[in-house]
Chains A and B, each alone.
Chain A
Amino acid sequence: MSTERPLIEVRDLVKHFPVRGGVLRRTVAQVKAVDGVSFDIRRGETLGLVGESGCGKTTTGRAILRLEQATAGSVTFDGTDVLRAPARTIKALRRDMQIVFQDPYASLDPRITIGESIAEGLEIHRIGTRATRVDMVREVLGKVGLHPSSMARFPHEFSGGQRQRIGIARALVLNPKLIVCDEPVSALDVSIQSQVLNLLRALQAEFGLTYLFIAHNLSVVEHISNRVGVMYLGKLVELADRRELFRRPRHPYTRALISAIPVANPEHRRERIILQGDVPSPINPPGGCRFHPRCWMAQEICRTVEPAFTQRAPGHWSACHFADDVT
């Protein structure tokens, strides 16, 4: 393992959203969206974060960028404490930490040209002059596979896949170290998804980018990531090298997720684990292991004792009392 310090260190990250009720709009409960999550992102790697809706993967990504104010925990980016940094430091940090959103229709301002849209970040960070900014926009458009003449056009003139390229260009133009990709391909058609995935890979190789890749589609995450973390109800339940995670999952939830993916091969026969029930509410997560009400392996201990997130094999972390029995 490299001894180099990771680009991002997340420790015990917590984000609770208050639920207000009654006439006085008092806080009556907390949605425990992220409830104690720790992981590192190494320089130049892609860390995939998967989980079903409401598991806290998007909130984790946003809290790292301080787009959400975390409730507790720490995030260290390149040695800087992100969560406690003053506003000025944050502004500078944002140049290094960018985000690409899921919905390429909602994330671009329809009233300004895409050239203006891409140059916005450069203006905010006072990079270059008006003339050099135009050159930078032109160059970045080429990098994401769009014609430089697209600069003068408006978002509605582009398809979903092209808009996602524009979203990537907006992030890329600032020359960031980290890009948080929040479901970047899930709104796109199958044949377009792979174009964008290949583009993200090529840009990573060219610019040495680090990605936090958040998605619910396991096949996509498996394809693009070096390591993958699996979230369930605000907790990280497993984290491992992608190959290891898919070949030998050490958490029953991961195993169920993998077995639930529809495989585009009618001859592919495998044992399917169909989980019973729905994901419980993050307001009142089950005691003990949060997965126990849906887990077919659950024992008495799972109902009472919350399993620790520990290393079960080199680089393979799992939060299950019976991690070694998951086969």
Chain B
Amino acid sequence: MATSPLLSVEHLEVQFKTQDGIVRAVNDVSFHVDRGETLGIVGESGSGKSVTAMSLMRLIPNPPGKIAGGRVMFDGEDLLQLSEPSMRHIRGNRIAMIFQDPMTSLNPVLTIGRQITESLELHLKLSHREARRRAVELLQMVGIPSADRRLDDYPHQFSGGMRQRVMIAMGLSCNPELLIADEPTTALDVTIQAQILELIKRLQQELGTAVIIITHDLGVVAGMADRVQVMYAGRIVEEGLTSEIFAQPRMPYTIGLLRSIPRLDDEQGRKLNPIRGLPPDLINLPQICPFSPRCDYFQAGQCDAQVPPLRDVAPDHRAACLFDITLQTPVTAGDPVSA
């Protein structure tokens, strides 16, 4: 029997109550993360990727949000059943999270040093002096120059990239087993993004931390993740090894995404093939393939009769499509270009 994964999410359901009805943000989502691996979660706004991550940390605001079902097994324990004090021991200590916006996720009235030492004193029971020493080490590790002096600076004295480095230092301060990075570079410039991604990669190799990287950028996952899962309308619609997903995508949504992005490594002057239409409204989602209204391969009577289950389409590769669609399948439906 293989060793059990570090994290395994089973049939997760998350809902938000709104004036217009119940938004089903995450629907029957199951996946796992092994120790030391990097899982990429890709999707567009509203696909449920961030809500999934927040539920793992039990950070969904309730009300209006609610984890309506499922299990989040972390190292043999169901996080959803833990008491709040036990959960607090996991959060920041064994599972850490870094967010998109380093400007708003640091406390502006506390020094950088205080924000790092806080969790060291709380979780690792270090003395104030030990915590400060460790904080300097952490800042050096993430590449902040003259770290001992910068400890007493406030967040506004740091640039965006530097703040994200501080967030990473804080995230890694207690040697977590799992680091969840939610769009960690979206707010950063491209040269700074390259620095941060390189840093996460290096630290992961050195520390052996498992990483979940959540992004809308296919380029970021291609360079970072061992495995990728694609989310759409609150469901996982494709999952597999990164090389497989990019070389042989099997879900029309993934195929559409790959065709719609401008790519520098491609031949010149190519017209983009956008996915037509808009993502569905997550209120009153009908029990059909959520992508079917936008799909070039839509088959009436089948795609609109059920929610296609994730099924094995190749070794270590699953897709939620009833048909064996590949990059080579000719388009059957009407004009795919709406613009």
Contacts and interface: CB of A to CB of B under 8 A. Distances in A.
B278 A263 contact: no
Question: Secondary structure at chain A's binding surface: helix, strand, loop or mixed?
Answer: helix
A12 interface: no
Nearest to A246: B264
Contacts, number: 132
B334 to A, nearest CB: 16
A126 to B, nearest CB: 32
Contact of A272 (B159, B192, B194, B339): B194
Interface string A186-226: 00011111111111011000000000000011111011100
Contact of B190 (A222, A243, A260): A260
Interface in B252-276: 256-258, 260-265, 268, 271-276
Given A189-B216, A260-B194, A274-B194, A161 B261 contact: no
B219 A198 contact: no
A308 B218 CA distance: 38
A124 B257 CA distance: 41
B262 A220 contact: yes
A221 to B, nearest CB: 9
A268 B222 contact: yes
Contact of A223 (B194, B195, B272): B272
Nearest to A259: B194
A297 interface: no
B189 A53 contact: yes
Interface in B25-68: 44-45
B191 A275 contact: yes
A222 B264 contact: yes
A197 B272 contact: yes
A278 interface: yes
B223 A194 contact: no
B264 A261 contact: yes
A189 B275 CA distance: 11
B339 A145 contact: yes
A264 B268 contact: no
Contact of B223 (A52, A223, A263): A263
Nearest to B215: A262
A263 B264 contact: yes
Contacts of B246: 264-267
Interface in A167-203: 189-199, 201-202
A136 interface: no
Contacts of B200: none
B8 interface: no
Contact-residue bracket for chain B: 35 or more
Contacts of A246: 264
B261 A194 contact: yes
Contacts of A278: 159, 161-162, 192
A278 B257 CA distance: 32
B243 interface: yes
A199 B159 CA distance: 36
Contact of B220 (A191, A256, A262): A262
A194 B219 contact: no
A198 B337 contact: yes
A219 B263 contact: yes
A262 B223 contact: yes
B75 interface: no
B2 interface: no
B159 A191 contact: no
B77 to A, nearest CB: 33
B222 A196 contact: no
B338 interface: yes
Interface in B105-162: 159, 161-162
A256 B337 CA distance: 35
A59 to B, nearest CB: 16
A190 B260 contact: yes
Interface in A247-296: 256-268, 272, 274-275, 278-279
Interface in B297-339: 337-339
Given A196-B339, A264-B222, A190 B264 contact: no
Given A191-B44, A195-B274, A258 B264 contact: yes
A218 B247 CA distance: 23
Interface in B194-211: 194-195, 197-198
Contact of A263 (B257, B260, B263, B273): B263
Interface string A42-60: 0000000000110000000
Interface string B234-246: 0000000011001
A184 B195 CA distance: 26
B260 A193 contact: yes
28 contacts: A52-B190, A53-B189, A189-B45, A191-B274, A191-B275, A193-B260, A193-B261, A195-B276, A198-B274, A216-B190, A220-B262, A223-B272, A224-B262, A243-B268, A256-B191, A260-B190, A260-B191, A261-B190, A262-B193, A263-B263, A265-B246, A267-B243, A274-B194, A274-B198, A275-B191, A278-B162, A278-B192, A279-B189
Given A190-B44, A266-B242, 6 more contacts: A191-B44, A195-B338, A219-B262, A222-B264, A223-B272, A264-B218
Interface of B: 44-45, 159, 161-162, 189-195, 197-198, 216-220, 222-223, 242-243, 246-247, 256-258, 260-265, 268, 271-276, 278-279, 337-339
